[in-house]
Structure 1
């Protein structure tokens, strides 16, 4: 009897590629030149560096690692982060516009109140970050993952979130109004009180997560739920 080949299971979601950094990065202990407009910084390690409250235009970071670095309150336009890692960094209150992250990993970092509007994220993972009150309005995400992140009241209004994965995230009160979300997935997430619930057309949600959507769906449809 001819052997039978087992049926192939469903395809596994594509994981963002991890950045490949140079084996030896030039350490930056005291930032000699500060952030300069049109500055390009390659293969550098920023460890314990304070880059907060800066104002920069068209700054590019390529192949860099940021550890315990502060970018809080920094304003950036047309900035670029390519093939980078950010670990235990403080980006709270950072404001970026028309900027991009490509092949990046942001882990164990504070992003409270960070605003990246009209920006692009490709092959990016946010892991175990405090990201409450973050703003990603009109931004585009491709092959992106939010994992173990606290995202209460995050704003994804009019963002392109097609295919994005949210895993074990707290999204209480998050705003998705006008977002494009076909193919996005939510697994083990808190979805209480989210806004723009009608934009979730085409997403995949685990059954136990869907219970948190009942009141938001009812409100969007004008339904009153009595105890």
Structure 2
């Protein structure tokens, strides 16, 4: 198990096969840091700023990524579970073969990011921002997406199952998405609002 801060975030740092438990990596800044085959448990990245970072074959469990920011970074073959992501912003990033499971992800930002083989499951994602993101084929399962923003997103084949879709923005960008019938009411209300239709009780 890696100890902190000896094994910490450093520019051009590469960390392989390490387990970080209960570590404090808050409010750091790093460029071109890579984690491969690592496991993070109850580790905090709150407020940390990353650029060109890579997380490959990584597991994050019960961590705190709130208000973390990353640009031109990536998560590949990564599982993030029971983790706080509130206010986290990953812009122009790549997510491939990833699972976000039972995470608190309200107010997260994924603008201009690309997702491939990605699943969000049992996540609270109120007011998440997916503007201009590539969400083709992404699965949202039992997620609360109230007030989420999808303007100009690519949504072909994206799948929503047992999700809350009340008040979402950019609803017309959901062309090509698959929505379970039981989720359609919230989506219909958002679509009516986007078209200027008033629905009377």
Q: TM-score range by the shorter chain?
A: over 0.9
Instruction: State the Cα distance separating 1:213 from its structure 2 match.
Output: 1.2
Q: Does 1:152 pair with 2:126? A: yes
- State the partner residue of 2:150: 176
RMSD: 0.7
The alpha-carbon distance between structure 1 residues 33 and 46, as it changes in their structure 2 partners (threshold 3 A), is: closer
- State the partner residue of 2:2: 28
State the alpha-carbon separation in 1 of the partners of residues 121 and 4 from structure 2: 32
Instruction: State the Cα distance separating 1:33 from its structure 2 match.
Output: 4.8
- State the partner residue of 1:72: 46
Instruction: State the Cα distance separating 1:31 from its structure 2 match.
Output: 2.5
- State the partner residue of 2:106: 132
Instruction: State the Cα distance separating 1:85 from its structure 2 match.
Output: 0.2
Count of residues paired in the alignment: 201
Q: For residue 172 of structure 1, give the secondary structure of its aligned residue in structure 2.
A: coil
- State the partner residue of 1:43: 17
Instruction: State the Cα distance separating 1:214 from its structure 2 match.
Output: 1.8
Instruction: State the Cα distance separating 1:30 from its structure 2 match.
Output: 2.8
Q: Does 1:99 pair with 2:73? A: yes
Residues 29 and 48 in structure 1, CA contact (< 8 A), matched pair in contact too: no
**Aligned structure 1 segments of 4 or more residues deviating by more than 4 angstroms:** none
- State the partner residue of 1:209: 183
Q: For residue 191 of structure 2, give the secondary structure of its aligned residue in structure 1.
A: helix
Q: For residue 28 of structure 1, give the secondary structure of its aligned residue in structure 2.
A: coil
- State the partner residue of 1:19: none
Q: Tell me the TM-score normalized by structure 2.
A: 0.99
Unaligned runs of 5+ in 2: none
Q: For residue 218 of structure 1, give the secondary structure of its aligned residue in structure 2.
A: helix
| Residue number among 111, 119, 123 corresponding to 2:97 in the alignment | 123
- State the partner residue of 1:63: 37
Q: Does 1:143 pair with 2:117? A: yes
1:83-94 counterparts in 2 under 5 A? 83-94=57-68
State the alpha-carbon separation in 2 of the partners of residues 144 and 33 from structure 1: 29
